[in-house]
Structure 1
């Protein structure tokens, strides 16, 4: 259990940093908008520590992420909107409401039932929030990574039947968009090229969703694979007394295939 004095100490530190005259000039200059990018960055650093299996680093990164919550809560408190305790209370209320099988007498026996119940509760919460904007897509955050947001947009639309029925139709649409991208490139119209490449990526997000694959996870995995294999090339070239800058594409491609074979043999 977290020692309450540790939370109190953290809140006191944040208050001191934001105290005019005696606080930190940098912290005093910040706003919700300027801090938001750091909040996103810290969340990614948590995910990175998990991906690397760095449990010591995970503790530190979780602390950094918590500090972001405290920072935003302090700025809200200064504006008289809410404070850290309000944030925690709202979270506790939400978790209890979303888990009636744990915190009330309702019985849910399977994970599938819980998922369905969770989505129903979230749908009701979204409906309550959509008084100003009734769209089904209204509460999908704009600040999400574009690929992740594409998957969420199409998943939400699919709930009301706006979706390709089969994977074959998604593949057909992908082929169509690739053809349009080729045409845009041949015309050397940069704005059109950007639009068409965006359409290709959007269809790929749909394909991932239909295949029950998280596109962000898939792309992170592909990024990691590329980095791993390119580092193999760098190391192999370094051992032979050269570098990528002084090697041919053919040589690097041969080493890339060596890296692939080495991975398969592990």
Structure 2
């Protein structure tokens, strides 16, 4: 379903996750604007060489023109949520930082609170595909690096890594087990970044091959441990225990609840957890 606003109208379009307010003089004469939801699902979106997980997709289009005056966008945000707003213009094929208007620059990370009072808004004259994407979690590579299964997308600032380790160039990057962690390298806002996509718990290793400032070639190896997450939330632990009993995979570490010390979570442990939650 889409909504249409004609030239000379001042109107607000209410979508499932966004309000779009079009000022009276926002469009060119004989122009119109349409807007609508695309998806509320968390789906992967590749932006400027970096794949992100979207937290809302909408579109608004005005005959391929830039708007005459900015449309005001009010997102519905959850508590303590980190987001990046991007917009892709169909006619120019350019990504735009909505807050600054600069091209091909990702938004500075913001930590939002619930936007129930609608005090946080975004304004832009660009039209096209609007995406709110969750920021990847920054990871610092160490000889032994631990990643949580809960953070599906992580990134490493390779420029910072080179400076810290006195490396001039990184010419090749290998991963020993791509079934545990997948790696993607690309330029993001002029920075050399490595994206780590966590797939399942286990151990893998990343090997960086390159040269130092003296021209010597070499390699550095970093062990990556993908760990199950621990939580004090009894309800989540009960659900995870029931998943384990039914043969399903879970992202939570239940080792603290292995009451009979047999290395697994069975029905008896699930019942005890459920009783503990009820109490």
Q: TM-score, normalised by structure 1?
A: 0.26
Structure number having the greater strand percentage: 2
Q: TM-score, normalised by structure 2?
A: 0.25
Higher relative contact order (CA 8 A, sep 6+): 2
